[in-house]
A and B are shown apart, each in its own frame.
Chain A
């Protein structure tokens, strides 16, 4: 519901904006790993009419999932592509990894055109889909890794060295001989990322890599992606709904909405303005808890629950909780990141104000 509302709000705002402009952070052609120019992807589908006879006279509807996107990504950059559901993030990723052909526009990934040079590109990129597996569920992870060695025509010694490195960094030693379907989601994702890196790709695409993971597993995945990319000069392009993925892994953020690039900024700038927030919900048995401190804003709340927006640049979450507990009667406290839709909305509204 929230996503739908946010998306509609963006669409309304978007109507006021000029067409999306190319990234202001252009790289020289030599250092650009990804170059996209005016990329478009239009999906068409048949919408059935109402009633018994409606199925015989479908209406053909078109949607611009990607609508003139242009940006460049330099070697070694870690870039997050974020946006509400249906914004065109995954479609862009699919075009760049060679799965989909665009309707129009140009793209170059590591010097290749993804949809024309799919197989050649596959040797140079790694792809992880958070909700799809490239491992064999019933088999131990080691067997899947071994198959990937043959799929990517890897030399055994090089492959063993890379696997050894991943096993050590990702603490996989106890998982290698375990069937994948018996692993936790976090363990499986560690194996998925390992699988995508065993052929030594220079560019890694990640589509929602931390979706559904617990806090500890998310932290392990983020640390690994960031450290591995930094140590190997690897370029990373990821999509996520989790603001922490963006803060802790990426050094640049591209916000897309309705198929267009809305904002393209370094994460540092965005963090200062939009990502330094927490949402604290305090449940109480008696009257509502009142926390009146600088940096704390009260959101619309219910009888026994108060929802507070905490600006962590001005006040620590710990101080807010201490103030709440001091009033007595607290039954439960939840600390969350603000929803991605809210963050994007703020970013988007700010961009609109600047223009």
Chain B
């Protein structure tokens, strides 16, 4: 396990160095994403200046949700940035070279890239959580659980979507669209989702388990809410690993992609 973490850290650090290589481009992308997030947050500030709550959610609750989302997306992009182009890697046959090497494939694919824009998300997320989410120091352990679980679900969903590339060439853009939909669902107060939309948000596009359930856990801590968040993370991770390896089996059989 230590060797695995060391190897991952080494690869992720290399990916970060690659994203730093063009410094002007890096700075522009980080600043652009930071401003984008600031504008988004400002719109909500203006909204809450007129309406005190949305379905029982106040500004601090929304800030907690947005802060979690930005931090999760930021961490994913900086440390596991290969998730974004995983479907393309599969379709380009880039797994061939990795298959001739002895280490796990998913981790190698995730560590291949670090996205410059994600530093803007990460910085924005930390600021929003620190300044607007009404969190106390005592909330830190649960915040870490929320971030870890949310990140696991988001990453697992992205890996599952990318694994569609083992079956369909259209997954090149479809996987990204699904990941972006999950983000979109994660950007609004959970209380606005009802019926079928809520089912989708807690299943196929698991925004519910990326940020909504973690927000609930932080606001109303308890064994049940913690168990829900951790179980969801484990469940989605297992599903993603299973789905990827099912696709990999197909890839190694040389089955063509439609």
Partner of B7, one of A101, A138, A150: A150
CB <8 Å contact, B256 and A45? yes
Q: Given A132-B94, A151-B7, do A99 and B100 touch, yes or no (CB 8 Å)?
A: yes
Instruction: In the complex, identify which listed stretch (B11-19, B127-135, B233-241) lies at the interface while the others stay far away.
Output: B11-19
CB <8 Å contact, B17 and A139? yes
Q: Which residues of B contact A147 (CB under 8 A)?
A: 7, 10-11, 14
Question: CA of A273 to CA of B28 in the docked complex: distance in angstroms?
Answer: 63
Is A166 part of the binding interface, using a Cβ–Cβ cutoff of 8 Å?
no
Is B228 part of the binding interface, using a Cβ–Cβ cutoff of 8 Å?
no
Q: Which residues of B contact A138 (CB under 8 A)?
A: 17-18, 21
Question: CA of A101 to CA of B249 in the docked complex: distance in angstroms?
Answer: 9
Q: Which residues of A contact B94 (CB under 8 A)?
A: 132
Residue of A nearest to B9 (CB): A150
Question: CA of A119 to CA of B105 in the docked complex: distance in angstroms?
Answer: 11
CB <8 Å contact, A150 and B102? no
Is B137 part of the binding interface, using a Cβ–Cβ cutoff of 8 Å?
no
CB distance from B152 to the nearest CB of A (A): 24
Partner of A41, one of B7, B102, B254, B256: B254
Q: Given A129-B96, A134-B97, do A122 and B102 touch, yes or no (CB 8 Å)?
A: yes
Is A97 part of the binding interface, using a Cβ–Cβ cutoff of 8 Å?
yes
CB <8 Å contact, A136 and B96? no
Residue of B nearest to A143 (CB): B14
Q: Which residues of A contact B102 (CB under 8 A)?
A: 119-120, 122-123, 151-153
Question: CA of A151 to CA of B105 in the docked complex: distance in angstroms?
Answer: 11
Q: Given A123-B102, A138-B21, A147-B10, do A132 and B97 touch, yes or no (CB 8 Å)?
A: yes
Q: Which residues of B contact A120 (CB under 8 A)?
A: 102
Q: Which residues of B contact A97 (CB under 8 A)?
A: 99-100
Q: Which residues of B contact A270 (CB under 8 A)?
A: none
Q: Which residues of B contact A152 (CB under 8 A)?
A: 101-102
Q: Given A43-B256, A46-B258, A150-B7, do A98 and B99 touch, yes or no (CB 8 Å)?
A: yes
Chain B 242-258, CB-CB to A under 8 Å as 1, else 0, gives: 00000000001111101
Is B195 part of the binding interface, using a Cβ–Cβ cutoff of 8 Å?
no
CB distance from B194 to the nearest CB of A (A): 37
CB-contacts of B135-150 with A (<8 A): none
CB-contacts of A92-137 with B (<8 A): 94, 97-101, 115, 118-120, 122-123, 125, 127, 129, 132-134, 136-137
Is A44 part of the binding interface, using a Cβ–Cβ cutoff of 8 Å?
yes
CB <8 Å contact, A99 and B7? no
CB distance from A75 to the nearest CB of B (A): 20
For chain B, which range describes its interface: under 10, 10 to 19, 20 to 34, or 35 or more residues?
Answer: 20 to 34
Q: Interface size of A by Cβ–Cβ distance < 8 Å?
A: 37
CB distance from A91 to the nearest CB of B (A): 8
Partner of A125, one of B21, B100, B103, B258: B100
Q: Which residues of B contact A100 (CB under 8 A)?
A: 252-254
CB <8 Å contact, A44 and B256? yes
CB distance from A23 to the nearest CB of B (A): 24
CB <8 Å contact, A129 and B97? yes
Q: Which residues of A contact B224 (CB under 8 A)?
A: none
Partner of B103, one of A41, A43, A151: A151
Is B3 part of the binding interface, using a Cβ–Cβ cutoff of 8 Å?
yes
CB <8 Å contact, A127 and B97? yes
Q: Given A136-B18, A151-B7, do A43 and B100 touch, yes or no (CB 8 Å)?
A: no
Q: Which residues of A contact B55 (CB under 8 A)?
A: none
Q: Which residues of B contact A146 (CB under 8 A)?
A: 10
Q: Which residues of A contact B18 (CB under 8 A)?
A: 136-139
Chain A 146-167, CB-CB to B under 8 Å as 1, else 0, gives: 1100111100000000000000
Other A-B pairs, 14, CB within 8 Å; known A43-B256, A122-B100 = A44-B256, A99-B99, A115-B252, A120-B102, A122-B101, A132-B93, A138-B17, A139-B14, A147-B7, A147-B14, A150-B6, A150-B7, A151-B103, A179-B21
Report which B residues bind A (CB closer than 8 A): 3, 6-7, 10-11, 14, 17-18, 21, 93-97, 99-103, 252-256, 258
Report which A residues bind B (CB closer than 8 A): 41, 43-46, 65, 91, 94, 97-101, 115, 118-120, 122-123, 125, 127, 129, 132-134, 136-139, 143, 146-147, 150-153, 179
